Structure formats: C-alpha cells, structure tokens
Amino acid sequence: MISVLNTIDTGHEDMIHDAELDYYGLRLATCSSDNSVKIYDIKSGTQTLAADLKGHFGPVWQVAWAHPKFGNLLASCSYDRKVIIWKESGEWSKLYEYTGHESSVNAVAWAPAEYGLVLACCSSDGSISTISYNQDGATWDVKKIPGAHAIGVNSVSWCPAISAELSLDPLTNKEAPKRIVSGGCDNLIKIWKEQGDQWIEEKRLDMHMDWIRDVAWAPSFGLQRSMIASCSQDKRVVIWSSDDNISWTPTILNTFDDVVWSVSWSLTGNILAVSGGDNKVSLWRENADGQWLCISEVAKGLGQPTNDERSTL
C-alpha cells in the first residue's frame, strides 16, 4: 500500500505535461501548456511556490533535475524548439538556452552525474543533441545525432553509469561507455554508443507497431542485466533485457486499453510505473519467474479532491 504524501495544486493555467522531484525529493518542478515551469518546495505535506519560470513561448513538455553536485539545475524543453537550463543562485535564472533544434523538443534527460554535466535532448526534427558543460571554458559543447529517427524523436534515456564491466573503476566509472537509448516516430528504439567524438548507432530494437512514446533505461546497481522499458502508441509496453547490451530480448509487459505515454523505473530498478492516455497509472513488478505483474493501479480521478486524502494505490 502506498499513501498520499502530498497534493500540490499547481496553479498552472493549463494541463500539466510533466512533474519531477529533485534528487533529495524536496522540490517539485512542473511544466505545463501555459508555457511556464513552476518549482515548489515540498515540506511535510505543505508546499510553497519557489519559482515560476517563464522563458518558453510554447507548451513545456518535460523538466529534468540535474544531480545536486552541479548545483540546483533544472532543464526544460518545449514546443517552441528551445531547451532552457535554469539555475538557482539566490534567484532562479536562465543559465543556458539551447536553440539547436528545428522543431518541438520532446524530451530532456541528464546523463548520470559520473559523466559530468551532460544533457541529452531530442526533437521532432529527428535529431538528438547532447549538450555538455565544459568547465575549462565555462562553455557548453553540443554534439548532435542528425536524423536519429525519421519523422521525430520522442524520448531519450541514459544507460546508468554503474556498470558491471570489470575494467572500470567503481568509484568513478569515468571510462564507462556512454550509451543512450532513444525512441521515435519510426517505431524503432535505437541504442547509441559514444565512440570517440561521435555517437554510433549500436543497436536498433524493432517490435512496436506505432510511434514510441517513451523509453527508460532501468537503473542498475551493478547487476549484469540491463533493462529498457519502452511504451508506444500501439498500447504496448515492452521490457527489453540484455546481459551484454548487445543482444536484447523483448518481453511484452502488457497491452493496455489506450496509448501508453510514459514508463518510469524506481531507483532500485524493480518497479515500473506506467501511465497513458486512459488517465491511469499502474505499477508493475517482475516476479521470481520473470513474469511481470501489476501490483497496483489507479483507476481514475487521482486528482479528485474528494478521495484525495484516502486514496491509496
């Protein structure tokens, strides 16, 4: 059973498209079709609006917090083709604005902190960009994968840095090969590996029959097995698992009633949260036999004030 910790009336003037807590779980960032990003301080059942960030000129699709060792940084991406990195230093302000995409930027994801301050973003113009902060010159270096997916890229996720590869120093994992998984409108999932200066397509996973809406690489704590969850317009969620990051085995988690919009792994990588167009959220866990079972589901009306206090998943 899980219980409501906090209910936040966001005060957004339009639909919310993403919400994320920071590393410590003390701050909530939300973004909405009203073109704004809001940050709330969450403390024991209460919330205070800490910042209302206005800088986008279109609906904001996603927000992402960076690891706190880089400071309080938040990245947001929008329909207006921009990615903005916000920084708190007393006040929240724009640290960097990336305008290298030619269409709506659909997702942003920070790399594992071990790689430094690196942000991946993907756009409907079909390309993926990685923006990395260069400490020497205090500049941002941009690398782009043009034409990563035909029509557009909808989601991107990083391979965790903690890796079972032996040659790596467990303390830093600096040398771990950087990998990205992306999903796009060509119904494909692609795994990209950084080689030298470039991102090379390492693998493509073909299973879905419609646009991929979200991909998520499961955090691993060193176990050999890597897992990627993907969800699609075809109403299916697929779990891809691999022992070597090269051959991947798909398992269909479930076929849902409506399109599936997002998948999210828990920190220990064993519970998957799935949500989609039917306004439902469900949690899934793999049992000992390798079968995925739904452990709880929220039917609807999660935001309803009436059963808020009581509602349990």
- Give the whole-angstrom CA distance, residue 143 versus residue 192: 13
Task: Name the nearest CA neighbour of 25 among 267, 282, 297.
Answer: 267
Task: Name the nearest CA neighbour of 187 among 159, 160, 215.
Answer: 215
Distance of closest approach, residue 254 Cβ to another protein, in angstroms: 15
Distance of closest approach, residue 250 Cβ to another protein, in angstroms: 21
- Give the whole-angstrom CA distance, residue 148 versus residue 188: 10
Distance of closest approach, residue 27 Cβ to another protein, in angstroms: 10
- Tokens representing 86 are 């916000």
Distance of closest approach, residue 20 Cβ to another protein, in angstroms: 6
**Alpha-carbon distance values, 101 to 68, 79, 87, 182 (Å):** 27, 10, 22, 16
| 8 vs 50, beta carbon nearer another protein | 8
CB-CB contact of 159 with 193 (8 Å) = no
- Tokens representing 110 are 């920070």
Distance of closest approach, residue 226 Cβ to another protein, in angstroms: 13
| 9 vs 197, beta carbon nearer another protein | 9
Distance of closest approach, residue 189 Cβ to another protein, in angstroms: 15
Burial 123-152 (b: 16+ CB within 10 A, else e): bbbbbbbbbbbeeeeeebeeeebeebbeeb
Distance of closest approach, residue 199 Cβ to another protein, in angstroms: 20
CB-CB contact of 235 with 255 (8 Å) = yes
| 206 vs 258, beta carbon nearer another protein | 258
CB-CB contact of 122 with 109 (8 Å) = no
Task: Name the nearest CA neighbour of 178 among 188, 163, 166.
Answer: 163
Q: Which amino acid, residue 62?
A: Q
| 125 vs 217, beta carbon nearer another protein | 125
| 154 vs 191, beta carbon nearer another protein | 154
- Tokens representing 242 are 């691999």
Distance of closest approach, residue 197 Cβ to another protein, in angstroms: 20
Distance of closest approach, residue 277 Cβ to another protein, in angstroms: 3
| 62 vs 240, beta carbon nearer another protein | 62
| 199 vs 211, beta carbon nearer another protein | 211
| 79 vs 248, beta carbon nearer another protein | 79
Beta bridge partners of 202: none
| 74 vs 274, beta carbon nearer another protein | 274
DSSP 184-204: ETTSEEEEEEEETTEEEEEEE
**Alpha-carbon distance values, 223 to 84, 118, 162, 259 (Å):** 35, 24, 9, 31
